[in-house]
Amino acid sequence: MVRVNRYFQDIWDTLKSTMIGMRITGKYLLRKPITVQYPDQRLPIPDRYRGIHYLEQEKCIDCLACARACPIDCIEMDAIRHGKELEWVSFTLDYQKCMFCELCVYPCPKDCIHMGTEFALVVEDRSELNYDLLSFKGMAVDARVRMREAEEKKKIKEAAKAAKAAEKAADENDGEKGSGSDGGGEV
Amino acid sequence: MSNSTSDQALKAHEPSYSTEERRTLPSGEEEFFFDVKTSDLEVNMGPQHPATHGVMRVLIRCDGELVTGAQAHLGYLHRCAEKIGENVEWLQYLPYTDRYDYLAAMNNNLGYSMAVEALMPGFEVPRRATMLRTICVELNRIASHLVAYGTYGLDIGAITPFLYAFREREWIQSLFEKICGARLTYSYIRIGGVFNDAPPGWLTEVGHFCDVFEEKWKEYRDLLALNHIFIKRTAHVGVIPKDMAIDFGLTGPMLRGSGVDFDLRRDMPYMAYGEAHEAGAFDVPLGEGEKGELGDCWDRFSVRVQEMMESIKLVRWCLEVIEDGPIIGDVPKVLKVPPGEAYVGIENPRGELGHYVHSDGGKIAVRCRVRGPSFTNLSVIEELMVGTLLADSVAIIGSTDIVVGETDR
Amino acid sequence: MIQEQAQQALSHAVHPGSNVFVRILEWLPLPEWVPGWVITLGGVVIGMSIFLAVMSVLVMFCVWLERKVSGHIQCRTGPMYAGGWHGWAQSIADGVKLLLKEDTIPNEADRTLFWIAPAIVLGSIFGAMVAMPLSYDWWFGRMDLGVFAILALSSTTTIGVVMAGWASNSKWSLYGAMREAAQVVAYEIPLGLSLLAPLFVLGTFSLNEASAMQSGWFGMKWAIFTNPFLIPAFMIYWIAALAETKRAPFDLPEAESELVAGFMTEYSGIRWSFFFFEEYAAMLLMSVLAAFFWFGGFESPLTGALRASGVEETSLLFSVVCFGTVMIKGFVGIFLMMWMRWTLPRVRIDQVMTMGYKYLTPLALFCVLGAACWEALQHLIFS
């Protein structure tokens, strides 16, 4: 008797649960889809999104803190120092390696490297994934100006120094002359 | 199709197809007898197969549809995760922890961070950080169980529940995207606290998610878990009795599905779980053999489905008690951990995820070891699959809810 | 005696014409020296090509519908770009892609069988479709035993599937083929038995006549309304038809998560698309068969109204309405099949067998008995 019961119970359960399932799927059939047509419509990207980095190059001091923090050593930077000012050669980030962990952002003392919202890494060749984050090569315009001003100041100082020395020398009535310095600029 | 060793094994007992017996019947007709021997079929399920959830290979010996032997081959996704932990700095290892159990990256971050924090004497994680950690970990548990729910449906042949599950998982992922910027590999929970504070309005949205999810959860249950065909496919299949579950060292829903009442969150409380349990914020669902026997595939599946609801309760409790404060403790930028060794196990969605770290006082760990729950849970399938049908073997692999990234690490 | 009366009753409803294409050729001003067999052969050839074209378009529409239905059930949109409006040209684009794709054949495969198998599968299902009239006036083969022809030819596809599975020389394919053989043999029985019930009620094997028998009540005297036992019989037929057409929850021969792709694992390109075509053609055939024997065939209130207003059954308007009616009914059935596919999990092979032999077959027998008793009672009471 139990078996007979179970036989009909099985039939009933199958029909009932099928109906319940079809009610749920039928409900969503009539609703609006939740997906968006990607290239035409895009979902908003939150501010904290970790995409391709961007660099505020003017602030960067080439301290290598981000490169040291990177777990896979994908950041490489190269700059020539002219006293205080920097002449940028390269600041590359290898996106074949990068895992977008944001660990490079936190140690930065000048807060100049950030994660952007750009995420598409579509290239035709692998080597193109080695991004250069620099917005300009060489020296920044204001850095150049600053450097020239500093040079000029230095020259003026040196000239004044030389003049003083010459005065001193003249005072001491010596025929020798102090040699002028050639300044720091070797650009 | 079959590997060379099995070929040799087959050759050793090569059936004599050619033996031909001839007999003359009384009627004068000649009758032939062919002595045909059959051998079991060896089928390679994987490394690329829809049922193996990644690149795992299961070598199955079949007698027709009946499985007479099974052997799991691992290692296709081995990425030296532990060795990397001994070569990079403490904090730098954090993004790698995301990658072994990629469905529950928050939990991995938490396990590693807690192991390192255990080495720092007297270090206290700020309360707000603990609460944010709990919220994220529990949301991630829901996301992981949603994948388990959906892919189990796929294994059994129902495709739609998978997409419904992913709909809610997308929401959780966008919540994570808002708080930490990543959708899958978060690296959010760091040594000493969390990376970012919750953005304004985030906690409200989490509360809203909890409300909506409760509605959807009922649909999940009705659509798949209580479907009669699904019950017929999973009940009485792959039964793990209590003793066997303990013997194999199973943890997580696999263990609780067999009726063993053990949950690290309650029995060895860490973070705020002890407090939460005292406040009655969560229960530990157990398999009861409701539709079949205790410890069958349906029980394990049902435990996961119910755990989603418990996680929702926990998140709600956290949203109630969370208060403003610092989100990270006083951790130096270049971390030097005092010498010592520590093992911390936490309740991952798949079971006990243990991190063992050994420090000699330097910037880099001397030894870093991970105890992955998937790896241990996987060991039971070889035992379970023998004597089932081919379709059941797929159901059994699915019910273990493995993440191959973690079994191979 | 009774049969003659029934024949007479039917004769007003069923047009006794000939193959529609032979008629067209006869109407053409052909020279007299053309022998008669050329006209017949030409009619068959032209008819078959038009028929294949129409069926292919319908099947392509089915494929597009499947993708849209599954998409919307899963909160997606399905194809949206090809062709403009809701991706209507997606099936055509897919067809072109499949035609241009490389047709790979495994090295160790039995090439001859591998080539023949898809042809058998497609040929038998289109052969079965010949027995399907498109309206009272449009038909290709006058088959008084049309149901038998359809059942016999549609189950011939199994031979092609088994052939494909064996010839592929892949273990997954072999599993798929064996499952298909077991499943189809098991479900032929309830399928045939459940069809017996409406056959009792309608008293005919011909699809045209079955439809004509349901023309009463202003086109609403559908068989399912006249006999309560036909409702369970229809449910059994429907389940068996799902199993026959290898649709979920009975898609064991291709069980994606278990057997990769079952019997078509090794197929690619246009050869693979033949199997795909067969599945949808079989769905259409099974749905239309259900429409003919349970849901009035060509009959609907619309045909009833046309008939009442004196439109001839051989007229073009009537034929178009008939064709439209049966196709709408067929597509409702196909939609139901899709809806079930995207809801239910797959059953296991032993459960398929249990369901076929232990549940559906006895219940179908019960339905046949019940339907026969009901008819006998009606006969006793009303005559």
Residues in chain C with CB shorter than 8 Å from the CB of A31 are: 75
Residues in chain A with CB shorter than 8 Å from the CB of B195 are: 102, 106
Residues A80 and A60 in one domain: yes
Report d(CA C345, CA C279) in Å as an integer. Answer: 19
Q: Which of B378, B375, B376 is nearest to B408 (CA)?
A: B375
Residues A148 and A93 in one domain: no
Verify whether the Cβ–Cβ distance C255 to B50 is below 8 Å: no
Q: Block means of pLDDT (10 residues each) for chain C, length 383 residues?
A: 51 50 70 74 77 84 90 88 85 88 85 89 85 75 79 88 88 89 89 89 83 78 84 91 87 83 85 87 90 86 81 78 88 91 89 89 91 86 78
Residues in chain B with CB shorter than 8 Å from the CB of A28 are: 164
Using DSSP bridges, classify how beta strands A130-132 and B57-63 pair: parallel, antiparallel or unpaired.
unpaired
The pLDDT-based confidence of B33 (bands split at 50, 70, 90) is low
Query: Residue C360 is encoded by which pair of tokens?
Result: 């559906």
* A47 touching B (Cβ < 8 Å): yes
Out of B94, B196, B333, closest to residue A107 by CB = B333
Residues in chain C with CB shorter than 8 Å from the CB of B157 are: 248-249, 251, 255-257, 344-346
Verify whether the Cβ–Cβ distance B158 to C343 is below 8 Å: yes
Phi, psi of A30 (to 5 degrees): -90, -10
Would you say residue A36 lies in a domain? no
Verify whether the Cβ–Cβ distance C75 to A33 is below 8 Å: yes
Verify whether the Cβ–Cβ distance C249 to B394 is below 8 Å: no
pLDDT of B17: 47
Residues A75 and A100 in one domain: yes
Query: Residue B65 is encoded by which pair of tokens?
Result: 């549809």
Q: Which has more pLDDT, B96 or C220?
A: B96
SS3 of A131, please? Answer: strand
Residues in chain A with CB shorter than 8 Å from the CB of B185 are: 99-101
The pLDDT-based confidence of B142 (bands split at 50, 70, 90) is very high
Report d(CA C235, CA C215) in Å as an integer. Answer: 23
pLDDT at A184 over 50: no
A 17-56 → C contacts, CB under 8 A: 18, 21-22, 24-26, 28-29, 31, 33-35, 37
Q: Which residue of A6, A8, A9, A17 is the best one to mutate when testing the B interface, meaning the one whose CB has the most B CBs within 10 A? A: A17
| Tokens 């053309």 sit on residue | C34
Q: Which chains touch A (3 or more CB pairs under 8 A)?
A: B, C
SS3 of C77, please? Answer: coil
The pLDDT-based confidence of B16 (bands split at 50, 70, 90) is very low
Number of domains in chain A: 2
Q: What is the pLDDT of residues A51-82, one digit of tens each?
A: 888 888 878 888 888 888 888 888 888 888 87
Q: Which residue of C68, C75, C359 is the best one to mutate when testing the A interface, meaning the one whose CB has the most A CBs within 10 A? A: C75
pLDDT of A94: 87
Query: Residue C232 is encoded by which pair of tokens?
Result: 């369970």
Report d(CA B157, CA B200) in Å as an integer. Answer: 42
Q: Which residue of A29, A52, A101 is the best one to mutate when testing the B interface, meaning the one whose CB has the most B CBs within 10 A? A: A101
Residues in chain B with CB shorter than 8 Å from the CB of A49 are: 177, 181
Which chain C residue has its CA at the smallest distance from B50's CA? C257
Q: Which residue of C74, C239, C348 is the best one to mutate when testing the A interface, meaning the one whose CB has the most A CBs within 10 A? A: C74
* B96 touching A (Cβ < 8 Å): yes
* B156 touching A (Cβ < 8 Å): no
Q: How far is C78 from chain B (nearest CA, A)?
A: 13
Would you say residue A164 lies in a domain? yes
SS3 of B401, please? Answer: coil
CA quadruple B13, B18, B24, B28: dihedral sign: positive
Neighbours of B311 (CB within 10 A): 25
Kindly report the CATH number assigned to the domain that includes residue A121. Answer: 3.30.70.3270
Q: What secondary structure does DSSP assign to A7-68, as a single string?
A: HHHHHHHHHHHHHHHHHHHHHHHHSPP----TTTS-PPPPTT---SEEE-TTT-----HHHH
Q: Which among A123, A139, A155 is the end of a domain?
A: A139
Would you say residue A69 lies in a domain? yes
Report d(CA A55, CA A92) in Å as an integer. Answer: 11
Report d(CA C312, CA C120) in Å as an integer. Answer: 40
Q: What is the pLDDT of residues B162-179, one digit of tens each?
A: 999 999 999 999 999 999
Q: What is the pLDDT of residues B392-405, one digit of tens each?
A: 888 898 888 888 88
Out of A43, A47, A103, closest to residue B95 by CB = A103
Q: Give the pTM.
A: 0.84
Residue C349 · residue C179 · CB < 8 Å: yes
Q: Which chains touch C (3 or more CB pairs under 8 A)?
A: A, B
Cα separation of the two ends of chain A: 102
The pLDDT-based confidence of A187 (bands split at 50, 70, 90) is very low
List domains and CATH numbers for chain B: 81-373 (1.10.645.10)
pLDDT of B55: 85
pLDDT of B322: 87
Out of C75, C257, C343, closest to residue B163 by CB = C75
**Any idea where the domains of chain C sit in the sequence?**
2-17+108-382
Q: How far is C70 from chain A (nearest CA, A)?
A: 8
pLDDT at A155 over 50: yes
Cα separation of the two ends of chain B: 27
SS3 of B244, please? Answer: helix
Query: Residue A50 is encoded by which pair of tokens?
Result: 């970790």
Residues in chain C with CB shorter than 8 Å from the CB of A11 are: 359
* C348 touching A (Cβ < 8 Å): no
Would you say residue A82 lies in a domain? yes
Q: What is the pLDDT of residues B262-279, one digit of tens each?
A: 888 888 888 888 888 888
Planar angle of CA B155, B157, B159, nearest 5 degrees: 100
Q: Which of C379, C383, C380, C13 is nearest to C200 (CA)?
A: C379
Residues A106 and A162 in one domain: no
Which chain A residue has its CA at the smallest distance from C235's CA? A15
Out of A17, A21, A48, closest to residue B180 by CB = A48
Verify whether the Cβ–Cβ distance A35 to C343 is below 8 Å: no
Task: Give residue A120's domain range.
Answer: 53-139
pLDDT of C279: 87
Residues in chain B with CB shorter than 8 Å from the CB of A21 are: 222-223, 227
Q: Which has more pLDDT, A186 or C323?
A: C323
The pLDDT-based confidence of B356 (bands split at 50, 70, 90) is very high
Which chain B residue has its CA at the smallest distance from A99's CA? B95
pLDDT at B28 over 60: yes
pLDDT of C1: 43
Q: Which has more pLDDT, B11 or A97?
A: A97
Out of A22, A35, A37, closest to residue C75 by CB = A35
Cis peptide bond prior to C249, omega within 30° of 0: yes
Would you say residue A83 lies in a domain? yes
Out of C74, C75, C339, closest to residue A26 by CB = C339
Residue C334 · residue C168 · CB < 8 Å: no
Residue A33 · residue C73 · CB < 8 Å: no
